[in-house]
Structure 1
């Protein structure tokens, strides 16, 4: 644990002590720190080989409300499918490694571990599909082995992703965890590491809590988003540390439905691409609260990104008590994320509020599509270093009584 992260934890503890125990925010639920199940249905031990069948059998035969407990040792597994109400509890000193075997994850098209015209050719390591309740707890580690050579190849999952970027096409690599058409899922205490692709991807989820979760993956591991709520509602991400090779958190709303009522509170983001909304927002994103967040060395800080190929309405987004350090673009609200994009899905960002935001230097970008679809931004007590530079285009910005520094173009400095 770095000294910086240790200091952040201490500051967060002090801050939380001054608040009520429930994390009340845009998530409509009353969210408190989760408690692990009392009942343990099975305690598998590592075999030293492939543990997939044994772990899946333990999950399948575990009653709702109980946990499959992995104690000390190293387990290896391919895809696992969770069951409603069942918790996977990975104890301190336990590690669950994803086997680097593309055929184990392949969906039947022969694409997993290859570059193809489309992605999504791999099953995730852990899947919550049409489940209710349960989750993943414990102080252990789930390691996706994204930097380990795939079976039968000298290439790692991450090298495959880089090659796809250079050559064109889509890499087919497994996500670490996929939550799909599920309800009331909880993660607590767990460390997620080295995902071949996204760490946690969500689709049509109603009610999810991530508390004291650590995501730690190298900064150059392509497409390794931390947590991506998509077409979901009532989600809280709290007291967590995320360092990864892409978006630390990305709130999305593609063709599957809108995303709303999301609380991202009391978190620390290290390297990565920042606190993002988008780029797919065509079904609408609303009612997002980002509070008490430190972004330390992320390339972007607070980012809303879309374009005319996947744009939509983003509204009622509040950022408050945010600390930004060492970011190239501390603020990036951009409706022209891909300037070559073609389409008629207009990005429109309105009722965006920044309050008590502190940063150092970098480019502060706010770019609406045109004046007819101008960004609507309110800022109050927003302060950056003297060399920070505003780039504002097609944006209607309201400044509160506590001001903005450096001053916006064409406005006098605060007195």
Structure 2
């Protein structure tokens, strides 16, 4: 069945009753540059966060994005393992994951076909256990609803030759904060027009990928997450943990109706690349799992993340740009977050960040879906420091609802004690349409780096139930906003604006995996 373009209106969420199949020619078009108009209007409907509209122009982006479709099957791979109740398999299977070779062989065989390697259930078997896999150009790894792809617990399976030992605490992270070069990711996307997808059944359940970061690394008594905590105690060190999914410079990549859980480190890292779409993705890591960012678009361009649910132990989204190039034309829409450290831009901004829009976001602070208290409870956030700072311009947070968040707005160019010469310059940030509720201990920070690099901020239609604010080195334009910034080198100008504060009368529930 071919893909269809879905047009959305205010507060309308995409629901897919059955999974679809189409040619990868459609899939490839989905991942390319996209056009979306997402903003605040003066109508009554604008009082609620806005879902994405397809096929409508916005400056700086070239084409429209339709809802993805699942391609036809190139090669099915049937499960030979039953799902274990405790995520653990036999010692023999754990030592040598039995499904690695046959899944990778199918992926190698189907490269360039425009079709999927489909992981299917067979009788009572619905589990796959694998070492790291590579998704090649022009193909999709497809996990059927009810099926789980489990990642190896053996650090040796992930080892990158010539790099620090995977599964250990490595050297100083320095300016490459959070990169962890010793481990290859569990799923590496290394070709254009590729995808990682799940089918979605009538109950809403999706295919699942389980990184097992909560389980002991093979041959040890320490989990991937405990290793991360040990590294945290040694503040100049880095845990050598694998990411769950990394896109290595590939363009026109799609993730669709797939669920990710228990990642040992970042869930999805975009390492450059042009054209990425994530639609209907669910991510679940507890807040106790350090450095398990949801999506990290790093020096990536033309990115759309929409209609998704993210519960994780670090930033829900972190748009970054290292010295290798800018991050630009990134849109995050109609997505809900729990227990996150922020809906973030940064901390690496050295390559420059521009034209980034977050719209229709729901941020549930305080605790995650498991009841774990958020260790860093932040809402909308821009962060950097002089070790890896750069210009941030054209960043907009539109129609955002926050509940139980401590740091409601956190614009911080002194994120770490950087002592470099790469000065953060938060030149143009807009927050239009933000309501915070249940923020009894909440506050906001609005800061530029210094008088030469002031924060450029526009606040429109902002209603916070905790109005404490710390500000310095900032030029702030305001309309219909109930906070009163003041401080060293802070200039506030009242301007004429349009629109209204979102109502935030209800927040979405976690849909499950």
Please, what TM-score do these two structures have when normalized by structure 1?
Answer: 0.91
Contact 1:27 1:236 in 2 (8 A): no
Give the C-alpha shift of residue 246 in structure 1: 0.6
2:33 is matched with which residue? Answer: none
Residues 28, 270 of structure 1: CA spacing in aligned structure 2 closer, same or farther, 3 A cutoff?
farther
Contact 1:383 1:404 in 2 (8 A): yes
1:13 is matched with which residue? Answer: 13
Contact 1:27 1:263 in 2 (8 A): no
Which of 356-365 and 108-117 deviates more?
108-117
Q: Secondary structure at the match of 1:288?
A: strand
Counterpart-to-counterpart distance in 2, 1:201 and 1:404:
35
| 1:123 partnered with 2:184 | yes
Which of 244-253 and 361-370 deviates more?
361-370
RMSD (CA atoms): 2.2
Residues 46, 382 of structure 1: CA spacing in aligned structure 2 closer, same or farther, 3 A cutoff?
same
1:397 is matched with which residue? Answer: 476
Gapped runs of 5+ residues in structure 2? Answer: 1-9, 15-47, 82-92, 173-179, 199-205, 367-376, 496-513
Give the C-alpha shift of residue 22 in structure 1: 3.9
The one of 107, 110, 135 aligned to 2:195: 135
Q: Secondary structure at the match of 1:357?
A: strand
Counterpart-to-counterpart distance in 2, 1:393 and 1:260:
27
2:231 is matched with which residue? Answer: 164
Counterpart-to-counterpart distance in 2, 1:350 and 1:12:
33
1:75 is matched with which residue? Answer: 128
Residues 398, 194 of structure 1: CA spacing in aligned structure 2 closer, same or farther, 3 A cutoff?
same
Contact 1:251 1:277 in 2 (8 A): yes
Residues 412, 164 of structure 1: CA spacing in aligned structure 2 closer, same or farther, 3 A cutoff?
closer
Which of 245-254 and 48-57 deviates more?
48-57
Q: Secondary structure at the match of 2:228?
A: helix
Please, what TM-score do these two structures have when normalized by structure 2?
Answer: 0.74
Residues 212, 55 of structure 1: CA spacing in aligned structure 2 closer, same or farther, 3 A cutoff?
same
Contact 2:384 2:413 in 1 (8 A): yes
Higher relative CO (Cα under 8 Å, sequence separation at least 6) belongs to 2
Residues 24, 239 of structure 1: CA spacing in aligned structure 2 closer, same or farther, 3 A cutoff?
farther
Give per-residue Cα distances to partners, 1:78-110, cap 9 Å, x unaligned.
110111011011111010000100000011246
Counterpart-to-counterpart distance in 2, 1:19 and 1:106:
40
The one of 219, 233, 245 aligned to 2:313: 245
Give per-residue Cα distances to partners, 1:354-390, cap 9 Å, x unaligned.
11111133111011111221101011111101x3311
1:381 is matched with which residue? Answer: 461
Contact 2:12 2:51 in 1 (8 A): no
Contact 2:49 2:360 in 1 (8 A): no
Residues 399, 17 of structure 1: CA spacing in aligned structure 2 closer, same or farther, 3 A cutoff?
closer
Residues 345, 167 of structure 1: CA spacing in aligned structure 2 closer, same or farther, 3 A cutoff?
closer
Give per-residue Cα distances to partners, 1:103-148, cap 9 Å, x unaligned.
000112460011121531001001012x110201112100000001
Residues 27, 323 of structure 1: CA spacing in aligned structure 2 closer, same or farther, 3 A cutoff?
farther
The one of 11, 30, 40 aligned to 2:64: 30
* Larger fraction in strand: 1
Contact 2:132 2:152 in 1 (8 A): no
Which of 368-377 and 228-237 deviates more?
368-377
Contact 1:354 1:380 in 2 (8 A): yes
The one of 240, 250, 268 aligned to 1:182: 250
Counterpart-to-counterpart distance in 1, 2:51 and 2:356:
23
Counterpart-to-counterpart distance in 1, 2:211 and 2:52:
36
